[in-house]
Chain A
Amino acid sequence: MALANSTWEQHWRALLGISAETAQGVVAAGAILVILFGVIIPAVGVVSYLFRKLGADLQARVGPNQAGAAGFLQGLADLLKLLQKQKMKSEVTSAESQREGSFWYFGHTLVLYSSLAVLPLGSVFLFVNTDMSAFLPFIAALAAVLATLFSGVARGGVASFLGVFRVSAQAVAGAVPALFALLCAGLGAGGFRWEAMAKAQGFYPWSWRVFVNPFELLAFLVFFASGMVLLSIPPFSSAHPSSDLRGGVLSGVFGRRFAWLSFSRTYALFLWSLISVVMFLGAWNLPGFLDGAPERERWVFVLELIVVLSKTVSLMLLAGWIERASPRLRTDHVTDLVWWVFMPAALVALIGTALWERLWGGP
C-alpha cells in the first residue's frame, strides 16, 4: 500500500512499534511527542540559530559564537539562563495576580502547542483532516492572542494594561483580512482539508497556488502579513515589546515567563509560515516520479517533511530579514495599514479568486 493512501494510525503504529491492540489515543500521543521533540523543537531551534546568525551578519556582528560549535547551543544556554532568573518584587502586584499571570503565560503557550495535533507536516502527519482543518491553527492563534491579552491584564501595570488594547486592536485588524485570504485558498483548492489543499498543487513552483492564480499570490501576501499583525511579529510588534522602550503588554517580562514567551512566539511564526506554505506554496508535494512507490514508503514521508519544513524555514527567515531591516510600526499605523491596504487587497483577492476559478478553474 502506498504511503499517501494509508491512514496515519497504521503508519505510526509501524513507526513506533505499537501493537494493534493498543488504544488509538496512545498512538496519537506518541506521534505528537515524536513530532514535538523530533520535528518542531529541532526545527524551531535551527531557525532561532539561523535568525541570530543571519541577523548578526546583516548587522556587521559575529553573533553567537561561544556556546557549542559556532555558537549553535546559544539558544540552550539562553534557556538555562532564563530559567534561573529570580522574580523582581515589582514584577507583579500581588501573589494572586502572579498566579493569574503565570496561568495566562502558560495558557498562551499551551493553546498554541495544542495546534500540534492539526499541523500539516505531510501526508502521514494528518491526524485531523476535516473540512475545517485549515481553520484550526487559525483559531489556536486567536486563542493565543486572547491569552496574551489576559496576561497583560493580570500584570497590572500601566504599560501592560495599555498594551492589552494594542493587542486587541491588532488581533481584530489582522484576523479579518487573514480570514478572507484563507477563504481564497479554500476556493482555489476546492476545500479546507489539508489534503485537498496539497492535492491542488504540485512539487514544482509553477504548480503552486501563488503562481497558478495571480489573485492567490495577492491572498498569500495578505495572509502572511496579516498573520504577522495578528501575532504581533516584528515589524508589527508594537503591542508586544519585551523591552520597556515603548511600553506594551509584555514589557518587563523576563526569566521563565520570557522563556515561555519566546517559545510560543517562535512557534507561532512557525505555525503561520507552515500553514502559508501548505495553502499557497506547494505544501509537502514531491516530484511526480516518487508517487505511488510502495517500496519507498518508509522514507517518502521523511522527504515530505523535509520539503515542507525547508519552505517553512525559508519563509520564517524572510520574516526575520524583514524584522531586521525595518523600523517598528506604531500600533495605529499597523491598524491603518491593515484596514486601508490589506483589507481591500484581501477583498480583491477573494473576488478575483472566485471569478478566476469560475472562468478558468477546474470542474
Chain B
Amino acid sequence: MSNHTESLHTDLTEWEVGPFHAMLPGPMKLLLRLDGEVVVSAQAETGFLHRGLEKAFEQQRWHAGIPYSDRLDPEAAIFGELVFCLAVEEICAIQVPERAQAIRVILSELGRVSGHLAYLARVARMVGAETILHFLIRDREKILDLFELLTGARFALGFLRFGGVRDDVTEGFIERVIETSELIRQRLKEYNDLLSFNQAFVKRMVGLAPLSLDRVKALGVTGPAARASGLNRDERKARPYTGYEKMDFSVPRGKSSDGTGGSAHDRFIVRLMEILQSLEILKHATESLVPGPFKKGEVSKDFLPPRGEAYAYVEAARGLLGCHVVADGSVKPLRVQFRSPSIPNIAAIPEVLSGARLEDVGLILASMDISVAEADK
C-alpha cells in the first residue's frame, strides 16, 4: 500500500513565463507553480521596462516634462499629461479657463474610451474571439483619428500646457467627436451581441479570478477593477477636477456590490458601461464648450514655479493616477512621482491566479488591465 502511495506522489511543476511572452501584458516575469493544469501559486516580477521616467523629469525644464508624462502609459497618454499639469498648476495657483477645461475633459474621455476599447480587445484576443477583436480595434482607430485631428499625434499627444491646452479645437473637431460617439454607442450593441453575453464567453469569464471588496481595499486596487468588485468610488465624482463637477454621469459598478467579489466578467462589463458613461460626458462637454481663451496667457520657456509641492490625481482609464510634484523654485522639478493604478493590480496577481487553470492565465492577466510601462516607469 505504501508503495502505491509512493508511486502516486507527484511534484508541483514550476513554470517561469516571461519576461517576453504572448500571455503577459508586457515585459514581466511570472513564476507559476502548477498542480497539473491548476495554478497553485504565482509570483510576478516587474522592472524589465524601467526607464527612469521619474528621474528624467528632474533633468528637464518644467515644460519638457509634459512629453515625458505622455510616456507613463503610452496607451492612455492624456492622463499622465493631465495629472502632471494639474499638480504644477496647483503649485503655481494657475486658474485654467473654462474652455480649456472642457477640451481637457473631451480628451480625457476620448482617452478613456480608447483605453477601454483596447482592454476589451485584449480580453477578446485572450479568449480567441478574433472577429470582435478586429471590430474593437477598428473603432478605437476612430478615436485615434480624433486625437490626430486635434493634436497631430495619435498616442503621445503632448497637447496640454500649464494653464490650458496648446491650441483651440480645430474646425469640425466637435462634430467629429459627436459623430464618433454616436457610432460607438451603436457599436456597443454589436459588442454585446458578439461577446459580452455569448454563452461560451460567459462560461469562461463569470466567476473567474474573483477579487473581493475587502481585498480590493487592502491591495489599493482602484478604477474599473475596484468598481467591478463593488467599490463605489470614482475620482471624477468623489473629488471632481478640471470641470467634472459640471458633468452629469453615473458610476457603474459590478454585480457583486455586496462585496462577494468581482469576477473577470464584472470587470469586462463595468468597462463597457463606463464607455457608455464616457459618451454621455462627451455629449455634455461638447455642448458646454463656451467661447473664450483656451489657455491662461503664454507660459514662457523659462517658466519658474514658486517653491512648493502638490499632489494631483485623476481618474485614469485603469484607475487612480496620482502625481506628486516638488518645486524648489528652479527651472527644473526637484521631484516628480507617480502613483500608477497598475501597481496594485500587479500586486493582486498572486491572489487572482491562485486556483486558476493554465488556459485562463492570460485571460485573467488581461482582465486585470495592467500596463507594465506605467508600473515600471
Interface residues of A (CB under 8 A from B): 55, 58-61, 158-159, 162, 165-166, 234-235, 237-238, 241, 243-247, 324-333
Pairwise interchain contact B37-A162, C-beta atoms closer than 8 A: yes
Residues of A contacting B362 with CB < 8 Å? Answer: 245-246
**For B134, B138, B361, which residue has the most chain A Cβ atoms within 10 angstroms?**
B134
Given contacts A59-B135, A332-B357, contact A244 B21 (CB under 8 A): yes
Cα distance A69–B21 when bound, in Å? 36
Taking A165-B37, A246-B362, A328-B200 as given, write out 9 further A-B residue pairs in contact, using a Cβ cutoff of 8 Å, ordered by the A residue number.
A60-B134, A162-B36, A241-B128, A245-B22, A246-B361, A328-B129, A330-B357, A331-B359, A333-B200
From B23, B129, B133, B194, A246 is in contact (CB under 8 Å) with B23
Pairwise interchain contact A244-B37, C-beta atoms closer than 8 A: no
Q: Distance (Å) between the CB of B308 and the closest chain A CB? A: 48
**Binary contact readout B52-75 vs A (1 if CB under 8 angstroms, 0 otherwise):** 000000000000000000000000
Residues of B contacting A246 with CB < 8 Å? Answer: 23, 126, 358-359, 361-362
Given contacts A158-B13, A243-B22, A332-B357, contact A327 B135 (CB under 8 A): no
From B34, B125, B130, B359, A330 is in contact (CB under 8 Å) with B359
How many pairs of residues, A versus B, come closer than 8 Å at their CB atoms? 82
Residues of A contacting B126 with CB < 8 Å? Answer: 245-246
**Binary contact readout B351-377 vs A (1 if CB under 8 angstroms, 0 otherwise):** 000000111111000000000000000
Given contacts A158-B13, A243-B22, contact A324 B130 (CB under 8 A): yes
Closest partner residue, chain B, to A244 (CB atom): B22
Closest partner residue, chain A, to B203 (CB atom): A333
Within 8 A of A (CB), among B167-223: 194-195, 198, 200-201, 203-204
Cα distance A159–B13 when bound, in Å? 11
Pairwise interchain contact B134-A238, C-beta atoms closer than 8 A: no
Cα distance A327–B129 when bound, in Å? 4
Q: Is there a chain A Cβ closer than 8 Å to B95's Cβ?
A: no
A-B contact pairs, 30 of them (CB 8 A): A60-B135, A158-B15, A159-B358, A162-B34, A165-B37, A235-B200, A238-B359, A243-B22, A245-B128, A246-B358, A246-B359, A246-B361, A247-B358, A247-B359, A247-B361, A325-B131, A325-B194, A326-B198, A327-B128, A327-B129, A327-B195, A327-B198, A327-B201, A329-B204, A330-B204, A330-B357, A330-B359, A330-B360, A331-B359, A333-B203
Residues of B contacting A166 with CB < 8 Å? Answer: 37
Cα distance A243–B125 when bound, in Å? 11
Q: Distance (Å) between the CB of A242 and the closest chain B CB? A: 11
Q: Is there a chain A Cβ closer than 8 Å to B310's Cβ?
A: no
Residues of B contacting A234 with CB < 8 Å? Answer: 128
Q: Is there a chain A Cβ closer than 8 Å to B127's Cβ?
A: yes
Pairwise interchain contact B200-A329, C-beta atoms closer than 8 A: yes
Cα distance A357–B360 when bound, in Å? 46
Residues of A contacting B204 with CB < 8 Å? Answer: 327, 329-330, 333
Cα distance A92–B270 when bound, in Å? 43
Residues of A contacting B133 with CB < 8 Å? Answer: 59
Residues of B contacting A325 with CB < 8 Å? Answer: 131, 194
Closest partner residue, chain B, to A243 (CB atom): B22
Q: Distance (Å) between the CB of A228 and the closest chain B CB? A: 13
Residues of B contacting A61 with CB < 8 Å? Answer: 134
Cα distance A343–B134 when bound, in Å? 35
From B23, B135, B138, A245 is in contact (CB under 8 Å) with B23
Closest partner residue, chain A, to B129 (CB atom): A327
Pairwise interchain contact A235-B128, C-beta atoms closer than 8 A: yes
Given contacts A162-B358, A235-B200, contact A328 B21 (CB under 8 A): no
Chain B interface residue count, Cβ-Cβ cutoff 8 angstroms: 33
Q: Distance (Å) between the CB of B30 and the closest chain A CB? A: 12
Q: Distance (Å) between the CB of A357 and the closest chain B CB? A: 34
Cα distance A58–B133 when bound, in Å? 11
Pairwise interchain contact B135-A328, C-beta atoms closer than 8 A: no
Residues of A contacting B198 with CB < 8 Å? Answer: 326-327
Cα distance A55–B134 when bound, in Å? 11
Cα distance A243–B135 when bound, in Å? 21
Cα distance A58–B190 when bound, in Å? 13
Closest partner residue, chain B, to A238 (CB atom): B359
Cα distance A247–B201 when bound, in Å? 18
Residues of B contacting A326 with CB < 8 Å? Answer: 129, 198, 200
Q: Distance (Å) between the CB of B35 and the closest chain A CB? A: 11
Q: Distance (Å) between the CB of A61 and the closest chain B CB? A: 6
Closest partner residue, chain A, to B125 (CB atom): A245
Q: Distance (Å) between the CB of B92 and the closest chain A CB? A: 47
Closest partner residue, chain B, to A241 (CB atom): B128
Residues of A contacting B134 with CB < 8 Å? Answer: 59-61
Residues of A contacting B138 with CB < 8 Å? Answer: 60
**For A58, A59, A327, A329, which residue has the most chain B Cβ atoms within 10 angstroms?**
A327
Residues of B contacting A59 with CB < 8 Å? Answer: 130-131, 133-135
Cα distance A331–B36 when bound, in Å? 13
Residues of B contacting A245 with CB < 8 Å? Answer: 22-23, 125-126, 128, 362
Q: Distance (Å) between the CB of B123 and the closest chain A CB? A: 10
Residues of A contacting B127 with CB < 8 Å? Answer: 327-328
Within 8 A of A (CB), among B274-288: none
Residues of A contacting B36 with CB < 8 Å? Answer: 162, 165
Residues of A contacting B357 with CB < 8 Å? Answer: 330, 332
Q: Distance (Å) between the CB of A340 and the closest chain B CB? A: 12
Within 8 A of A (CB), among B90-137: 124-131, 133-135
Closest partner residue, chain B, to A333 (CB atom): B203
Q: Distance (Å) between the CB of B81 and the closest chain A CB? A: 31
Closest partner residue, chain A, to B198 (CB atom): A327
Closest partner residue, chain A, to B16 (CB atom): A158
Closest partner residue, chain B, to A329 (CB atom): B200
Q: Distance (Å) between the CB of B210 and the closest chain A CB? A: 17
Q: Distance (Å) between the CB of B326 and the closest chain A CB? A: 43
Residues of A contacting B195 with CB < 8 Å? Answer: 327
Q: Distance (Å) between the CB of A348 and the closest chain B CB? A: 21
Residues of A contacting B37 with CB < 8 Å? Answer: 162, 165-166
Within 8 A of A (CB), among B1-26: 13, 15, 21-23
Q: Distance (Å) between the CB of A248 and the closest chain B CB? A: 8
Cα distance A324–B131 when bound, in Å? 6
Q: Distance (Å) between the CB of B269 and the closest chain A CB? A: 15
Residues of B contacting A327 with CB < 8 Å? Answer: 124, 127-129, 195, 198, 200-201, 204
Cα distance A158–B37 when bound, in Å? 10
Pairwise interchain contact B131-A58, C-beta atoms closer than 8 A: yes
Residues of B contacting A235 with CB < 8 Å? Answer: 128, 200
From B15, B128, B131, A328 is in contact (CB under 8 Å) with B128
Cα distance A22–B372 when bound, in Å? 70
Cα distance A243–B24 when bound, in Å? 13
The 7 A-B residue pairs with the shortest CB-CB distance, nearest first, are: A328-B128, A59-B134, A327-B127, A327-B129, A244-B22, A158-B15, A246-B359
